[in-house]
């Protein structure tokens, strides 16, 4: 048994001991909690659960928007640095060219200010005339080349400056977008935490049971549909490394915008797992969905990423047996869950 299998089985065994997995089958649900009673305020708690789902979903959308803005900012900052280097080099080249042009002007002054062509015409020595004509031709070519190079260098500097300005504008727009996303994330999480804080301990426990029950219902429906009937793909070498990394993070808290090593958000976990496997991928779940190769559910294999919800706002890594490892939401830790416990948008393969 390989290292990845040992890691996954250890995690599964732990989950079984906690009543999260049903051993000996594809990933199933925990034992269904007892039906809510009037004392449990079941109906009210179900409404609370639905409201929390919406708030945390909105927070997830904002988190991915923040992550995208952060990724763009890093790219634009790098471009600005490179443009700044180009501007410095261009300015140094322009200074050298101007120095050469100045030297030529000073030489002409020392020759009495008489243009080389006029000096040539005053010569009555045929051989000197021919030598001078050749030097004059060469000098004209050199002067023309110098002036052309000066013009091109000035144009390059202008282009660099314009590109830098555009990148600064994009960087500023990204800063505004990032600040807006951050504000939305905090407001949605604060609203969710405020809602949960109003519940008594027993109600919070019951709420968690309701969350598990909802996941179980979706996972059961997914399994019953025959989604896993033809799934038999084996992980690639890199896929095994990605799964090993991701499952090793089980138990670490979800923190929005985090990429490890102590905490992760959903796409932070998957991007870092594949980076550790030697295959860098986009930072956000939306870009992972856009840029990576799509594969059918029946063709998926451990290491593939399952993208969730119509807006591609969540991602988990398939680890086999109908299960994923993912960073769920604020207040939860990296964990194993049913691959069908959320609405699947599709599957992508980083190492296609």
The predicted structure's pLDDT at residue 296:
94
pLDDT digit string (tens) for 105-142?
666 556 555 455 545 444 555 555 555 545 555 555 55
Catalytic residue among 141, 266, 294, 309: 266
pLDDT digit string (tens) for 270-301?
999 999 999 999 999 999 999 999 999 999 99
- Give the three-class secondary structure for 129: helix
Sorted by sequence, the CB contacts under 8 Å of residue 106 that are 6+ apart come out as: none
To the query of whether residue 314 is one of the catalytic residues in this protein, the response is yes
The predicted structure's pLDDT at residue 139:
52
pLDDT digit string (tens) for 59-79?
998 999 888 888 888 887 787
The predicted structure's pLDDT at residue 160:
74
Catalytic residue among 16, 57, 294, 326: 326
What mean pLDDT is predicted for residues 188-217?
90
The predicted structure's pLDDT at residue 141:
56
Encode 11-46: b = buried (16+ Cβ within 10 Å), e = exposed: bbeebeeeebbeeeebbbbbeeeeebeeebbeeebe
Using the predicted structure, report yes or no on whether residue 212 has a pLDDT greater than 80.
Answer: yes
What mean pLDDT is predicted for residues 197-221?
90
Q: 53 or 82: whose pLDDT is higher?
A: 53
Q: 7 or 90: whose pLDDT is higher?
A: 90
What mean pLDDT is predicted for residues 264-271?
97
Catalytic residue among 16, 57, 294, 314: 314
């Amino acid at each position: 048994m390989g290292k990845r299998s040992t890691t996954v089985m250890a995690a599964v065994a732990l989950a079984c001991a906690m009543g999260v997995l049903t051993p000996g089958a594809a990933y199933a649900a925990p034992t269904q909690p007892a039906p809510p009673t009037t004392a449990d305020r079941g109906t009210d708690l179900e409404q609370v659960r639905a409201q929390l789902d919406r708030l945390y979903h909105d927070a997830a959308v904002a988190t991915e928007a923040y992550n995208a803005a952060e990724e763009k900012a890093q790219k634009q900052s790098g471009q600005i640095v490179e443009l700044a280097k180009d501007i410095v080099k261009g300015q140094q080249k322009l200074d050298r060219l101007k120095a050469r042009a100045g030297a030529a002007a000073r030489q002409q002054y020392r020759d009495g200010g008489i243009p080389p062509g006029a000096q040539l015409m005053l010569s009555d020595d045929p051989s000197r005339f021919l030598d001078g004509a050749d030097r004059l031709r060469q000098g004209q070519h050199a002067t023309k080349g110098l002036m052309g190079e000066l013009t091109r260098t000035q144009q390059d500097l202008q282009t660099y400056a314009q590109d830098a300005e555009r990148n600064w504008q994009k960087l500023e727009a990204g800063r505004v977008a990032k600040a807006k996303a951050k504000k939305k994330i905090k407001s949605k999480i604060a609203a969710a935490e405020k809602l949960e804080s109003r519940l008594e301990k027993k109600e919070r426990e019951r709420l968690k049971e309701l969350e598990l029950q909802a996941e179980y219902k979706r996972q059961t429906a997914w399994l019953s549909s025959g989604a896993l009937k033809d799934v038999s793909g084996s992980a690639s070498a890199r896929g095994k490394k990605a799964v090993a990394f991701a499952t090793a993070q089980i138990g670490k808290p979800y923190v929005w915008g985090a990429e490890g090593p102590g905490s992760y958000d959903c796409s932070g976990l998957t991007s870092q797992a594949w980076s550790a496997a030697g295959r860098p991928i986009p930072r956000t779940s939306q870009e992972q969905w856009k840029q990576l190769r799509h594969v059918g559910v029946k063709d998926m294999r451990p290491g593939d990423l399952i993208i969730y919800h119509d807006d591609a706002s969540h991602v988990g890594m398939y680890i086999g047996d109908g299960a994923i490892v993912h960073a769920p939401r604020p207040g939860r830790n990296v964990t194993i869950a049913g691959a069908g416990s959320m609405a699947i948008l599709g599957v992508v393969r980083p190492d296609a």
